[in-house]
Structure 1
Amino acid sequence: MSNPLLVPFKTVFETAPFEEIQLAHYLPAVKTAIETAKEEVAAIVDNKAPANFINTIEALERSGHLLGTITSIFFNLNSAETSSEMQALAQEISPLVTAFSTELLLNEKLFERIEEVSKQDNSSLNSEAAYLLDKTVKSFVRNGAKLKGADKERLKEINNKLSALSLTFSEHVLKDTNDFEMWIEEEADLAGLPEGAIEAAKASAKEKGKSNAYLFTIDYPSYIPFMKYAENRNLRKKMYEAFGRRGFLDNENNNTEIIKEISSLRLERANLLGYKTHAAFVLEERMAKSPKVVYELWDELLLYALPKAKEELAEVENLAKTEDLLEKMERWDFSYYSEKLQMQKFAINDEILKPYFKLENVIDGAFLTANKLFGLTFKPRTDIQKYHEDVMTYEVFDGNGKFLAVFYADFFPRASKRGGAWMTSFKGQNKYDGKNERPHVAIVCNFTKPTDTKPSLLTFNEVTTLFHEFGHALHGMMANGYYESLSGTNVFWDFVELPSQLMENWCYEKECLDLFAKHYETGESIPEELIQKIKDSMNFLSAYQTVRQVGLGQLDMAWHDVTTIPSDSVLEVEKIAGEKTKLFDGETDTLTSTAFSHIFAGGYSAGYYSYKWAEVLEADAFEYFKENGIFNREVANRYKENILMRGGSAHPMEIYKAFRGKSPDSKALLRKSGLVETVH
């Protein structure tokens, strides 16, 4: 049969031909692409001409393009539109791809040529090419190119096993998420819930064939409103425990042993490569450089945040006690009473704000913000193939009206999609052969779906999530590098969150909200007093959230900055890791690790601190915008040219300083979070 993955895509903008691809196409396509990539590498190794930058480094950079295209489509869909058949296929495909990648990085003759180039006089290379050479050498060394014999074979085994385990971890979390259903038939059990949440639950029940019941799940659009508003404490507890036991139930989806095996294999690999811990290995190629620097960041944050977080928690507990005579506030009570406290202090909550955040308007708001800052325009296209009917497709133009990128947006939860929100790419950007190949970028979220009577109305948190992922998308769309592996979001992990977190800041500004925050029924712009309340409440529980983020980072390090994997139970590991950031008394049999996909399946191992690290950068960067005007074109151009367009073509600190004109001020985050007013 003809395979659409193995021929040039004859689609609009050469986009992925989703409607033509069948599951049966993937495996043969991957096998063929691996053979093609091997031939490309063999041509480099067997080249009789002396090794130089063009015939070795650049040739290697350009090899494997077909394989990259096919696997990006497959693995992106395995996250956003999967099935049990696709997951089984992933377990077959992943080892093949991992084995090829490992063999490539352990190819002795190839590494000899790379070293030969690195020892030459490379002073004529431009800065981007010189950076690629340096990255290539480091990548090979850090992935075992200097290992011999049994060590090399063991590294291959470890890499193959880790790729399979990460897939299994994700599958287990998705299955446990999809398996939990809480059916409510008594109207009294819906007390406190907003009309929209009730209507969504009724629609979910109807989809399952029950018209006289309400279905709640632990997908975020269902889970979050329930935990914030449901008066029935026992049902809140039930939801909380279901969410906190994903991957921890006594069933075939239990991730406890998988976690230990992943951590153990990562440690063994680090040791093989000459590093004390997996964290030491990872952080060598991050802005932080070492675990010590990460711990210093946390210590500084906790110094200011922990005392205030305890005060914030006490305030919520006091409300629970005075309002409902609750002697002990449990974790499943926190969202409920903190929501009440926010309403009491600021007269604002999601239900007041949601009518002003119709999804389509928020999308337009993101587009208008990008237009005012960078001159971008977005044109909906109905002729771009998509992998699910919910996906929206756009053609993106730069400030000169020139084609810039293809943009996909996928916003609603479904059983075939993993939880959370992320940005990804189906096609990278490069400038090979005199052509600027433009990227195909996607954002995937899990937002509140429309109901029979209401459009999709977003919570303010969902608004900031959309802007966050859109910030990543801008980083991908505006890429303008020569080499694809250094382009767009291919930057250090603790730098990649800067464009996304920076973008969230515009959601709090009147000048931006006036562009799109309009009541879905009346068209009335969001009142100024509500905007002020959003700003006033911006730092509500900010200390608590800071401590929580640090706690998650410390849990990450508890698994990855160790010289031996803890023999304790996963619950005990979490208890010990959380001592410094503990805010609640009492124990529960819920935990985080078994569903902590960021670190066990998503590339953030020994890197969860990156969110806080990037917050320091974005707080400092947004101060620059605020000083000059949030839509100041001069500052926006500096940001576009020095950060968004340059991707990973230089060290991130060099890139940041080129934009800001100085190093980031580490106290900017403390000021933004309201943890200090002035730090001298």
Structure 2
Amino acid sequence: MLKLSRTLLRWRHRHRSRLVSTWTPLATAFNSPPARRINFTRDEVGLFRIPELRSFEGFYLLRDNAESRTQELISEAISEQRERKMVDIFDELSDSLCKVADLAEFVRIAHPQSKYTQAAEQACISICGVVESLNTHKPIYQALSHVVEHGDKLPTSEVDKHVAKLFLFDFEQCGIHLPEKERLRVVRLNDYILQLGQKFMSGAVQPSVLPRSLVPEAIRNYFPTSGDNVIITGLCTNAENVQIREAAYRLYLQPSDSQEDLLRDLLLCRHELARSCGFKTYAHRALNGSTMERPEVVHDFIDELSEKLRPRAEADFAKMTQMKRREGGQVSAMAEVWDTPYFTTQMRRQSLEEQANEFLPYFSLGGCMEGLNNLLQSLYGVRLENAEMEPGESWYNDIYKLSVVHEREGLLGYIYCDFFERTGKPNQDCHFTIKGGKLLPDGSYQLPAVVVMLSLAQPRWSGPTLLSPARVDNLFHEMGHAMHSMLARTEHQHVTGTRCSTDFAEVPSVLMEYFAGDPRVLRTFARHFQTHEPISEDMLRRLCASKHLFAASETQLQVFYSALDQEYHGAGARQGGSSTETLRSVQNRYYGLPYVENTAWQLRFSHLVGYGAKYYAYLVSKTIASWIWQTYFEANPFNRQAGEKYRAEILAHGGAVPSRKLVANFLQREMTPTVLADSLITEIDTDESKIKELMVSRC
């Protein structure tokens, strides 16, 4: 037995050695904390290699330089002896202000040192003041308006004309084209809308505080208390006890007179602002220049998609009802709005046998970055290289810097990776543009620099940071934004990369999620962080299927949210009335689960502030991304020809070409509401078939 055991041990050792492969240098870098360099010199290069930012006081110099350059460019724009195209002058004006404003906005929220955040905030305030003064500068507006209406005295391209119109629209958002009395009214409305939005968002996240007597005794102890009050801080969507889920929903979403007043005033002021600026509704103003162009097109898309989703969503809710009845033993139980997240999680656990954290070991941060690198090389001939930072270049000691290098074009730009949690850092996944790309007068290109911010756990001495499947999706999503900035090659900074219409800016990032959910892509990097053993085919199939459970009902929920947002910012805004009655009406029409009496979910819907009349943008972006995926990448996610075509015809243009035109040209088909809806329905049906096949195979 001893001899046999030694033989088995030797066999196991040889077998394991075949599984182990070394990580690439990129993966190794991200699977360990960034090297902390000791600065043996006194010279620092400055934050983001900006010499002025060797200290926080440099923000004051950057601000002063931007203000000085602004005055020079204003003089050039209104001069009779102007020798440059008007759009080039305006783009340099935009570039000089954005280089300070975008940088300062990031530093203001992300830098750990208060002296930097305070200086950055002062710079933000100063640049806002410059912009406000520009918005009232009639001579420069008139100079631009004349060029847009009558053409420039210098030769211009179609892109020049399009970008000039965008600049003009930005001007007119503030009412500069209106008589002075009306212009001042627009300024006041904008200020009031900002204040209302801030107050509404603050109220939306406040807990509900209720007397103990109003909370059922059976579940009272499940919530925190303060004296004789019970505090409800959220919806408890994953609670196993259905009574807790229901109580949390009803109590947390109770109507609030103060929130109702804020929302009503916000919608009314937005409507008045739009009318003052010559638009029928605020939705018409918000959608001007967007991919969908007009609210009427959004409504047609929502209605078309809603009709096709209805039977599919009903099937989802029927499954949830069956699960609820089996779990609770009540024959008459029906799935309710507070049940949907819970039973989606239960379906993953029961039908797909998904265990908590079982996928984590296969998705180390370094492995995921290696997977991204492999994908980018396959599609675009681009590689990510871990770059060593100079002293003073970074704002914290755990930041990575990536050089994005094309096999023929060379260096495309830089991505700073601020991936880990720290005290005071916002808990959000997002992308920041620090410097936009643009063609420079000498023919060279201003290389873009961006930051990708995540909120991952710090790597431990015992191993690297491990990502859940949802975190992998988020990483690919945010890197999709970053690569949009890197791969764009626009003449004008004002329209580079993600600086395009809201309902198109999410397309490249959502498309990256399709790659992150494809088993052929995941196989290239999903390896155990210790043994390097690849993820099993069974786990891979279950993981990919879990991302699409109850897709129809989830999409229907997004349709409902989008329809509600459009209704609030459409013609109904001027009619007043209760926002809850509007919610009830829209929910009954667009969602398969009924409105719950005496609740006001919309009063906690903070996206109404930031995405006013544009909440539909994610739904449309997902639809366009799905269409692109099905057309070009579903057959082969590593298709180089398709990748280069996608870059050349979509990513390279940023917002320099109207997004509707970009999509129609790329997909060789008019982007009608029917075509968009059919694309998403095709995806949902295909994924549902795969889930059924998997479940049958596991029975």
* Fold shared, TM-score > 0.5 on shorter chain: yes
Partner-residue secondary structure (3-state), 1:621: helix
Q: CA deviation at 1:285?
A: 1.4
Are the equivalent residues in 2 in contact too, given 1:30–1:71 (CA < 8 A)? no
Residue 600, structure 1, aligned to residue 609, structure 2: yes
Q: CA deviation at 1:92?
A: 7.4
Query: Aligned match of 2:371 in 358, 362, 365?
Result: 365
Are the equivalent residues in 2 in contact too, given 1:498–1:618 (CA < 8 A)? yes
Query: Aligned match of 1:262 in 239, 254, 266?
Result: 266
Residue 159, structure 1, aligned to residue 170, structure 2: no
Q: Which amino acid aligns with 1:117?
A: V
Residue 674, structure 1, aligned to residue 678, structure 2: no
Q: CA deviation at 1:485?
A: 0.5
Partner-residue secondary structure (3-state), 2:357: helix
Q: CA deviation at 1:531?
A: 2.2
Partners in 1 of 2:417 and 2:581 — Cα distance?
40
Partners in 1 of 2:441 and 2:200 — Cα distance?
41
Q: What is the match of residue 56 of structure 1? A: 86
Q: Identify if the C-alpha distance between structure 1 residues 17 and 37 changes in structure 2 by more than 3 Å, giving closer, same or farther.
A: closer
Q: What is the match of residue 617 of structure 2? A: 610
Residue 101, structure 1, aligned to residue 131, structure 2: yes
Provide Cα deviations, 1:97-122, integer angstroms capped at 9, x if missing partner: 44543442342211222233231367
- Which structure 1 segments of 5+ residues have no match? 1-8, 180-188, 190-216
Are the equivalent residues in 2 in contact too, given 1:95–1:163 (CA < 8 A)? no
Residue 47, structure 1, aligned to residue 79, structure 2: yes
Q: Identify if the C-alpha distance between structure 1 residues 328 and 411 changes in structure 2 by more than 3 Å, giving closer, same or farther.
A: farther
Q: CA deviation at 1:591?
A: 5.3
Partners in 1 of 2:111 and 2:602 — Cα distance?
24
Instruction: For 1:419-438, list aligned pairs within 5 A.
Output: 419-434=427-442, 435-438=444-447
Partners in 2 of 1:561 and 1:91 — Cα distance?
35
Q: Which amino acid aligns with 1:292?
A: E
Q: CA deviation at 1:675?
A: 7.5
CA RMSD, aligned part only? 3.9
Query: Aligned match of 2:293 in 266, 289, 295?
Result: 289
Partners in 1 of 2:463 and 2:273 — Cα distance?
52
Q: What is the match of residue 660 of structure 1? A: 667
Q: What is the match of residue 395 of structure 2? A: 387
Are the equivalent residues in 1 in contact too, given 2:86–2:152 (CA < 8 A)? no
Partners in 2 of 1:40 and 1:99 — Cα distance?
17
Q: Which amino acid aligns with 1:652?
A: S
Partners in 1 of 2:114 and 2:195 — Cα distance?
15
Q: What is the match of residue 336 of structure 1? A: 342
Q: Identify if the C-alpha distance between structure 1 residues 521 and 583 changes in structure 2 by more than 3 Å, giving closer, same or farther.
A: farther
Q: CA deviation at 1:592?
A: 5.0
Provide Cα deviations, 1:390-443, integer angstroms capped at 9, x if missing partner: 543222212237221111223345663445432221111111222201111122
Query: Aligned match of 2:583 in 565, 574, 579?
Result: 574
Query: Aligned match of 2:636 in 619, 629, 632?
Result: 629
Are the equivalent residues in 1 in contact too, given 2:56–2:115 (CA < 8 A)? no
Larger radius of gyration: 2
Instruction: For 1:221-620, list aligned pairs within 5 A.
Output: 227-228=237-238, 231=240, 257-325=261-329, 327=333, 331-348=337-354, 351-383=357-389, 385-400=393-408, 402-412=410-420, 416-434=424-442, 435-447=444-456, 455-562=464-571, 564=573, 567-568=576-577, 571-585=580-594, 587=596, 593-601=602-610, 604-620=611-627
Provide Cα deviations, 1:231-261, integer angstroms capped at 9, x if missing partner: 466776788789869xx989xxx86554444
Provide Cα deviations, 1:433-476, integer angstroms capped at 9, x if missing partner: 22201111122234466578775332322222221121111101
Are the equivalent residues in 1 in contact too, given 2:46–2:55 (CA < 8 A)? no
Q: CA deviation at 1:90?
A: 9.1
Q: Which amino acid aligns with 1:150?
A: K
My pick for the range that moved more, 563-572 or 143-152, is: 563-572
My pick for the range that moved more, 269-278 or 336-345, is: 336-345
Partners in 2 of 1:574 and 1:78 — Cα distance?
37
Q: Identify if the C-alpha distance between structure 1 residues 371 and 314 changes in structure 2 by more than 3 Å, giving closer, same or farther.
A: same
Provide Cα deviations, 1:20-67, integer angstroms capped at 9, x if missing partner: 337xx76x5686366425513541355232x67x25332122115443
Q: Which amino acid aligns with 2:360?
A: K
Q: What is the match of residue 20 of structure 1? A: 55
Partner-residue secondary structure (3-state), 1:495: helix
Q: CA deviation at 1:172?
A: 6.3
Provide Cα deviations, 1:372-393, integer angstroms capped at 9, x if missing partner: 2112222223426333445432
Q: Identify if the C-alpha distance between structure 1 residues 659 and 237 changes in structure 2 by more than 3 Å, giving closer, same or farther.
A: same
Q: Which amino acid aligns with 1:649?
A: A
Q: CA deviation at 1:359?
A: 2.7
Q: Which amino acid aligns with 1:494?
A: D
Partner-residue secondary structure (3-state), 1:671: helix
Partners in 2 of 1:259 and 1:353 — Cα distance?
42
Partners in 1 of 2:663 and 2:648 — Cα distance?
11
Instruction: For 1:633-648, list aligned pairs within 5 A.
Output: 633-648=640-655
Q: What is the match of residue 5 of structure 1? A: none
Partner-residue secondary structure (3-state), 2:432: strand
Q: CA deviation at 1:270?
A: 0.5
Are the equivalent residues in 1 in contact too, given 2:94–2:494 (CA < 8 A)? no
Q: Which amino acid aligns with 1:368?
A: N
- Which structure 2 segments of 5+ residues have no match? 1-43, 210-218, 220-231, 690-699
Provide the identity percentage: 21
Are the equivalent residues in 2 in contact too, given 1:94–1:163 (CA < 8 A)? no
Q: What is the match of residue 208 of structure 1? A: none
Q: Which amino acid aligns with 1:528?
A: E
Partners in 1 of 2:534 and 2:344 — Cα distance?
28
Partners in 2 of 1:151 and 1:271 — Cα distance?
11
Partner-residue secondary structure (3-state), 1:445: strand
Q: Which amino acid aligns with 1:410?
A: D
Partners in 2 of 1:514 and 1:391 — Cα distance?
28
Provide Cα deviations, 1:354-380, integer angstroms capped at 9, x if missing partner: 332223322322222112211222222
Q: Identify if the C-alpha distance between structure 1 residues 147 and 549 changes in structure 2 by more than 3 Å, giving closer, same or farther.
A: same
Partners in 2 of 1:349 and 1:160 — Cα distance?
50
Partners in 2 of 1:325 and 1:388 — Cα distance?
55
> Which structure exhibits the higher relative contact order, with contacts defined as CA atoms closer than 8 Å and separated by 6 or more residues?
2
Are the equivalent residues in 2 in contact too, given 1:40–1:63 (CA < 8 A)? no
Partners in 1 of 2:454 and 2:296 — Cα distance?
34
Provide Cα deviations, 1:84-139, integer angstroms capped at 9, x if missing partner: 99999999776654454344234221122223323136794233223223333343
Q: Which amino acid aligns with 1:549?
A: Q
